[in-house]
Amino acid sequence: MRIIPQKIYDLPGLQHQIRRWRLLSKTIAFTNGCFDILHQGHIASLSDAAREADFLIVGLNSDASTRRLKGPQRPINNEQARATVMASLLMVDAVILFEEDTPLNLITTVSPDVLVKGGDYTIDQIVGAKEVIAAGGRVVINPIVPGFSTTGLIDKICSL
């Protein structure tokens, strides 16, 4: 259990870790989300993202950011619980919370080699895509696993 909290970073700590990885000529992938109730679709997306680089950083929306994006009843799990669950996953190397509605500032700070997003997006709709490409990186859009969404799970639970 001791390694899990060590994978949850503040910005200065993450910047230090990134410098270490870069010194070893390792590649970095970045993805983000609320990850409120972890499900099979999340695992598939995170696994795909991890295959794109040597290390995977997950930007996690804070509680306040999640509420602004998803509504006043969300998140179901608070940010510390979500960060702990995310950090416990083998394919995730670093987790960092962000307060903004989008991870643009975090993406430009991390400057990942690969920006990964799951969903039905086009590159021009993905926050940070233009900046990652301009810095020489690439953007990958992973397919959604049909039938899995946090909102769908919440609706199913509420209907029981």
What is the reported pTM? 0.92
pLDDT of residue 149: 66
Q: How is residue 145 written in tokens?
A: 């696993």
Say how many residues make up the chain. 160
Q: What angle do CA 36, 41, 43 make, to 5 degrees?
A: 80
CATH number at residue 15: 3.40.50.620
pLDDT of residue 137: 98
pLDDT, tens digit, 9 for 90 and up, residues 65-77: 999 999 898 899 9
Q: 38 is in which domain, residue-wise?
A: 3-158
pLDDT at 40 over 90: no
pLDDT at 1 over 60: no
pLDDT of residue 115: 98
Asked if 83 and 127 touch (Cβ cutoff 8 Å), the reply is no
pLDDT, tens digit, 9 for 90 and up, residues 112-131: 999 999 877 889 899 999 99
In the β-sheet with 8-9, what is the strand arrangement from edge to edge? 8-9, 94-98, 55-61, 28-33, 114-118, 138-142
Instruction: Please tell me the total count of domains within the chain.
Output: 1
pLDDT band at 150 (very low <50, low <70, confident <90, very high): low
Report the share of the chain in percent with pLDDT over 70: 90
